Structure 1
Amino acid sequence: MKKFEQLIKYGAENIFSDIHIGGGSKTVFRQHGINHSNNQFVWSHKELDALVGQLLDEYQKDTLLTRHSVDLSRTVQKVRLRMHIFHAMTGFSISIRLLPGKVHSIEGVNLHPSLKNFCKPGPGLILVCGASGSGKTTTIAAIIEEINRNHSANIVTLEDPVEYIFNSKKSLIVQRELGIQIPSYKQGLIDIMREDLDVVMVGELRTAEEMTLALHAAESGHLVIASLHASTPEEAIYRICNSATAELQEMIRHQLAVALKLLITQEFYFLKDFGFRVPMLSIMVNTQSTRGIIRDNNLSQIESTLQTSRDDGMYSIDQYRSYLDNRKDYSPPSVVFKPSSEDESGAALFHTPTLFLSRQKGAEIKKTEDKRVSHHEKKIQKEDKSIDELSPHYVINEDTRLDEIIKEIKK
């Protein structure tokens, strides 16, 4: 574990976004989107097996055993990590994402200051879209933190896994992890209707059911903040509307047109003059114009609307690139990724022993029942066998007379 801690410290000091470890091979780091290899940190298969054993709790080990992969988050050397451990032909492999050292404000992670206007409780849907590794989670965390610092709200997050750990400030924040505190995003979205919430964050909308439930939650008075894999506003809206069956798509379009408050798509942009990457956004605000576009399914008009609606706070990706090139004040990675000095002990993940013992007891009962069933089946088989062996067998020839058959049976 000491070697792993040294690796994470080295990664944080050099502002690496990702680290990839494989047994018997060199470690690969990603810095500003470019991969670099390093022979300083090499794990043998035996060392990597031991490391995996130290990183995982019993629940996660069970998941790895049954699914051959597991997602988890940890704080190591005051650096927050999101990890994916999986089986490969060469043994275990670990992909590690290094997250900013603490939850920052909108300005703290170099987002547009106008986003603060949307960081308040109230009915609606905020979508943060982009490819994997585009910084969606960090953007959502910054939005949540703005609400946390400035508004008194009840907030719940549904995550897979929990990445940033929030400390409640003006707001009360409860975090739930998929597979541990909730069985599915669907169940988490159903639960929020009974939890007196103002804001709900959904780690990712994946299925038609989840998207529909998120829209219902937004319509019922909650601020729903969610991520979606989509590269453009058109693709995001298309994905949500077309996730429904054909007969429901028009209804979903009308719901989305009303509920959507803000749609962001993002990717990273390298600033040559500064030597680091920052989020580059397209920003679509729900106005009368965009509501009509969504409702009437005229998605091809979105790009031109973004370009001509700067007064409404909208940006196309090209306009935002120009904004970044002209901007002079940025938070450097040395500040963004600086290890946290906040005490996270009060907000750390806690797996309640009540549920663990309950699950353990349930497993023991099932095991006992399985044994009983198995014993009963064996007993029946044994009894069937003995009866079968002791029972006489008669082959009756149709030409045999009845009195001869009776005589044979009596014997």
Structure 2
Amino acid sequence: MFDGPDHRTAWARWPPPLAYCVPAHYDRSSVSDILELLRLAKQREASDLHLVMGSPPMARIDGALQVLDEYGMMLSEDIQAALMKMTTADQQAEFATNLELDFGMALEDVGRLRCNAARQRGEISFAIRLLPAEIPTVDGLELPEVYKDLAMKQHGLVIASGPTGSGKSTSLATMINHINHNRTSHVVTIEDPIEYTHTNFKSAITQRQLGTDTLSFATALKHVLRQDPDVILVGEMRDLETASAALTVAETGHLVLTTGHATGAPEAIDRVVGLFPPAQRYLAQIRLAATLIAVLGQTLVPRAGGKGRIAAVEIMLGTSAVKNLVREGKIHQLHNVIRTSSKLGMVTMDQSLARLYVQGLIDAATLLAFCQNTEEVEEIAGTRLGYLR
């Protein structure tokens, strides 16, 4: 990958709006650079690497950003050269036109990467997510057993929700991995970009990437039924067209796995409904209620001892009570149903955090920092947290 044409020549192919020229004197090997940086980030078990002009490289380790002191301030030329070495001419042209670029790639000794280039204050910033070399398992990530149960469902909709960096796509990859090793299915994934590459085991897995294999989530979903799928993974329900198409696929008797950016399970439902115009929201609620299997709201929190992170998971299952509230648009009542349905396997985020604390997996400070209802958490955990305020 790094033995291609000299980056000065390649950069000249960029369209005029961003036709930066790497200065003639630029022959540093600093971005020996990007590969060296990525190897260091991997060695330190970082999840992300950030390159911004005027700042040293920063890596997110155990959820916190840390400066890589071995390197000085990043120059504009450093980041430009790094981007040139990691992208194709078509991707460079796309970035020049759209000022944004998402792409995935794999590097020897580093593994798969999910990358984003953007503009900030007229310069390029670069964020790189380092993905595990192997697809994690549900047990390996210490996720609840419900992830395995949901992966074996034959039809319906499962939404994994959470903020950016909460492990949603990794969790869905573990579910696809579980399907692959435990049932015979044709799985079609539609991703932006592909993060984990699956090798067929019991299932046949077709992986499609936006930009190279299909134009959009919605376009791929319109044609996916002709590919004889059993399971469809949709990277994200980010717009009306995608949400409607995903519901249609779920309505036709397929298992659909997708993600959403929301802080909790009820909020994820509200966000999906909110993608539809007001005149269509009641019908959207009916369609959601008919297809919903579960919403898994998750966030990553620091482990006790400060080494690594673990997922706290809110579980909302598509019971009759949940479906009725979704159908009627009474989203604000869903939290109480989750809170009082532990015998059915539902768990609020606070309950999940409290259980992690009781198991010794997180400490009291983390429990207090991430919980919403201190009194409820104290009751479950059997301890007082007020002294930590």
The two structures have a TM-score, normalised by structure 1, of 0.76
The answer to whether 1:7 aligns with 2:34 is no
Cα pair distance change 1:25/1:79, threshold 3 Å:
same
Q: Distance in 2 between matches of 1:89 and 1:249?
A: 39
The answer to whether 1:172 aligns with 2:170 is no
Which residue of the partner structure matches residue 58 of structure 1? Answer: 89
Structure 2 counterparts to residues 189-204 of structure 1, below 5 A: 189-204=221-236
**Larger RCO of the pair (alpha carbons < 8 Å, separation 6+):** 1
Cα pair distance change 1:92/1:245, threshold 3 Å:
closer
How far 1:20 sits from its partner (Å)?
Answer: 0.7
How far 1:24 sits from its partner (Å)?
Answer: 4.9
How far 1:15 sits from its partner (Å)?
Answer: 1.7
**Aligned partner of 1:38 among 68, 71, 85:** 68
Which residue of the partner structure matches residue 250 of structure 1? Answer: 282
CA contact (8 A) 2:237 2:272 kept: no
Cα pair distance change 1:242/1:85, threshold 3 Å:
closer
Which residue of the partner structure matches residue 69 of structure 1? Answer: 100
3-state secondary structure, aligned to 2:215: coil
**Aligned partner of 2:292 among 260, 273, 278:** 260
3-state secondary structure, aligned to 2:140: helix
How far 1:4 sits from its partner (Å)?
Answer: 2.1
Write the letter of the residue equivalent to 2:334.
I
**Aligned partner of 1:218 among 232, 245, 250:** 250
3-state secondary structure, aligned to 1:26: coil
Q: Distance in 1 between matches of 2:315 and 2:157?
A: 14
Q: Distance in 2 between matches of 1:143 and 1:62?
A: 35
Q: Distance in 2 between matches of 1:20 and 1:192?
A: 36
Deviations 1:39-98 (A, max 9, x none): 323444334322221110122111112112211112222422111122333633211112
Q: Distance in 1 between matches of 2:78 and 2:260?
A: 37
CA contact (8 A) 2:304 2:361 kept: no
Write the letter of the residue equivalent to 2:97.
T
Task: From the CA coordinates, give the structure whose radius of gyration is larger.
Answer: 1
Cα pair distance change 1:329/1:151, threshold 3 Å:
farther
CA contact (8 A) 2:240 2:276 kept: yes
**More divergent stretch after superposition (17-26 vs 53-62):** 17-26
CA contact (8 A) 1:121 1:153 kept: no
Write the letter of the residue equivalent to 1:66.
T
Deviations 1:301-344 (A, max 9, x none): 211111111121110011111222233689xxxxxxxxxxxxxx
The answer to whether 1:92 aligns with 2:124 is yes
How far 1:104 sits from its partner (Å)?
Answer: 1.2
Q: Distance in 2 between matches of 1:22 and 1:240?
A: 34
Identity %: 28
Q: Distance in 2 between matches of 1:329 and 1:321?
A: 9
Structure 2 counterparts to residues 325-344 of structure 1, below 5 A: 325-327=357-359
How far 1:103 sits from its partner (Å)?
Answer: 0.9
3-state secondary structure, aligned to 1:41: coil
Q: Distance in 2 between matches of 1:313 and 1:215?
A: 24
Write the letter of the residue equivalent to 2:60.
R
Runs of 4+ in 1 over 6 A off after TM superposition: none
CA contact (8 A) 2:303 2:361 kept: no
How far 1:156 sits from its partner (Å)?
Answer: 0.9
3-state secondary structure, aligned to 2:268: helix
Deviations 1:142-184 (A, max 9, x none): 1111111111111111111111111111111111111111111
Deviations 1:256-300 (A, max 9, x none): 111011101111111224632111110001111111111122222
Question: Structure 2: which 5+ residue stretches go unaligned?
Answer: 3-31, 363-389
3-state secondary structure, aligned to 2:346: coil
Which residue of the partner structure matches residue 291 of structure 1? Answer: 323
Cα pair distance change 1:146/1:329, threshold 3 Å:
farther
How far 1:197 sits from its partner (Å)?
Answer: 0.4
**Aligned partner of 2:303 among 271, 280, 283:** 271
**Aligned partner of 1:49 among 80, 88, 91:** 80
Which residue of the partner structure matches residue 345 of structure 1? Answer: none
Q: Distance in 2 between matches of 1:114 and 1:228?
A: 19
Cα pair distance change 1:329/1:144, threshold 3 Å:
farther
CA contact (8 A) 1:121 1:199 kept: no
Q: Distance in 1 between matches of 2:352 and 2:253?
A: 31
Question: Structure 1: which 5+ residue stretches go unaligned?
Answer: 331-411
**Aligned partner of 2:141 among 105, 109, 121:** 109
3-state secondary structure, aligned to 2:353: helix
Q: Distance in 1 between matches of 2:60 and 2:306?
A: 18
Which residue of the partner structure matches residue 49 of structure 2? Answer: 19
CA contact (8 A) 1:203 1:226 kept: yes
Write the letter of the residue equivalent to 2:159.
L
**Aligned partner of 1:187 among 219, 224, 236:** 219
Cα pair distance change 1:313/1:259, threshold 3 Å:
same
CA contact (8 A) 1:26 1:39 kept: yes
Q: How many residues are aligned here?
A: 330
The two structures have a TM-score, normalised by structure 2, of 0.80
Cα pair distance change 1:84/1:197, threshold 3 Å:
same
How far 1:213 sits from its partner (Å)?
Answer: 1.0
Cα pair distance change 1:273/1:47, threshold 3 Å:
closer
Q: Distance in 1 between matches of 2:177 and 2:196?
A: 10
Q: Distance in 1 between matches of 2:274 and 2:103?
A: 31
